[in-house]
Structure 1
Amino acid sequence: MNNIGKRIMVIGSPGSGKSTFSRKLAGVVGLPLIHLDKEFWNNGWIETPKEDWVKKQKCLILGCEWIVDGNYGGTMDIRLEKADTVICFKLSRTVCLLSYFKRVITNINKVRPDMPEGCREKIDFEFMKYIWNFPKESGQANINKLEKSKDKQIIVFKNRRQAKQYIIEISNGKKEEVT
């Protein structure tokens, strides 16, 4: 397998395309895929308690190979310690918010494949606010953590075209890193 690594974190704003990219990447490189949203949320949008969530994540990354899709900044250090590659989607908040709207319209009252049963897609104004504020709040905190991780391969996509091109080039065995 190229130099992409065997323990890959995919992070970035909601609506940036992390889950779609992660599914495609897993299909190309053959690594098991873990969607953190599917692991965190319980039926009816009930959160996993913090202590249980920490334990669960430690178990999820015990394997030697994985792709983990999702932010969850409060527990990112758990994954970052074990990851060899971090793929960060750094798209504009407008693009992410528009993608969220499209996702809601397309999937309203349906359960997406990266979510657990009982978590139907819905319009969530607090979540929209989170997406809008992500670049300056959670997104910047993520970048600060990554800057301290000198031993990791960090790949940043500033638009979806870069992500698509990366998948194409990995599929063709040509790409090792996008700058």
Structure 2
Amino acid sequence: MINLGKRIMVIGSPGSGKSTFSRVLAEKTGIPLIHLDKEFWNSGWVETSREQWIKKQEALLNADSWIIDGNYGGTLDMRLEKADTIICFKLSRVVCLYSYFKRVITNINKVRPDMPEGCPEKFDFEFMKYIWDFPKNSGQKNINKLKEIKNKQIIIFRRRSEANRYLKDVN
């Protein structure tokens, strides 16, 4: 039996499987799921202002329990402070890009469940570059922050099969 705590954050590269993993984890545990993309983006791919974004996250983080799926490095420390468990997907960039292509092909012009209305899936070269650069930029910053954390459960998945095995052990 796995003890996750009541506040779980899931981070890692786009295309790594964070949202799918988080959805299954929420179903198995009954812990409410928050997709940060759904909270951050507004219809038409309009960003939430930094001030509103911080206030929104403060409100979300005050809940007794949550699974929060997403990176948003500028506010990562807020979530790290409140989380009991941090789950990090550290998959290869090739796997993440392949998953992104598959996701776009499957969902083109549709709104995914982890996104707000008015933000349909689209092919985005800039986002592809972000995924490719993630391991050496944002991903490395995440790992460095995790190395500094004490007294919290940290789980790092390097393969989807590890995440799938983990989910099988969650009751």
Structure 2 unaligned spans of 5+: none
1:129 is matched with 129
Does the CA-based 8 Å contact 2:26-2:67 persist in structure 1? yes
2:97 is matched with 97
User: Cα distance, 1:112 vs. partner?
Assistant: 0.1
> Which runs of structure 2 are paired with 1:11-22 in the superposition (5 Å)?
11-22=11-22
1:155 is matched with 155
User: Cα distance, 1:99 vs. partner?
Assistant: 0.1
Q: Secondary structure at the match of 2:170?
A: helix
| Matched letter for residue 53 of structure 2 | W
> Which runs of structure 2 are paired with 1:30-179 in the superposition (5 Å)?
30-171=30-171
1:176 is matched with none
Query: Normalising by structure 2, what TM-score?
Result: 0.98
| Matched letter for residue 31 of structure 1 | I
Does the CA-based 8 Å contact 2:45-2:118 persist in structure 1? yes
| Matched letter for residue 32 of structure 2 | P
Q: Structure 2: how far apart are the matches of 1:44 and 1:7?
A: 30
Q: Secondary structure at the match of 2:64?
A: coil
Q: Structure 2: how far apart are the matches of 1:144 and 1:74?
A: 15
Q: Structure 2: how far apart are the matches of 1:156 and 1:6?
A: 18
Q: Secondary structure at the match of 2:9?
A: strand
Q: Structure 1: how far apart are the matches of 2:10 and 2:118?
A: 24
Cα distance per residue 1:115-150 (max 9 Å; x no partner): 000000000000000000000000000111111111
Identical-residue share of aligned pairs (%): 73
User: Cα distance, 1:61 vs. partner?
Assistant: 0.9
Q: Structure 2: how far apart are the matches of 1:52 and 1:131?
A: 26
Q: How many residues align?
A: 171
User: Cα distance, 1:151 vs. partner?
Assistant: 1.6
Cα distance per residue 1:86-130 (max 9 Å; x no partner): 000000000000000000000000000000000000000000000
| Matched letter for residue 156 of structure 1 | I
Query: Normalising by structure 1, what TM-score?
Result: 0.94
Q: Structure 1: how far apart are the matches of 2:114 and 2:100?
A: 14
| Matched letter for residue 55 of structure 2 | K
Structure 1 unaligned spans of 5+: 172-179
Q: Structure 2: how far apart are the matches of 1:5 and 1:100?
A: 30
Q: Secondary structure at the match of 1:31?
A: coil
Matched, 1:10 2:10: yes
> Cα RMSD between the aligned structures?
0.9
Question: Deviating runs (4+, > 3 A) in structure 1?
Answer: none
Cα distance per residue 1:4-40 (max 9 Å; x no partner): 1110000000000000000000001110000000000
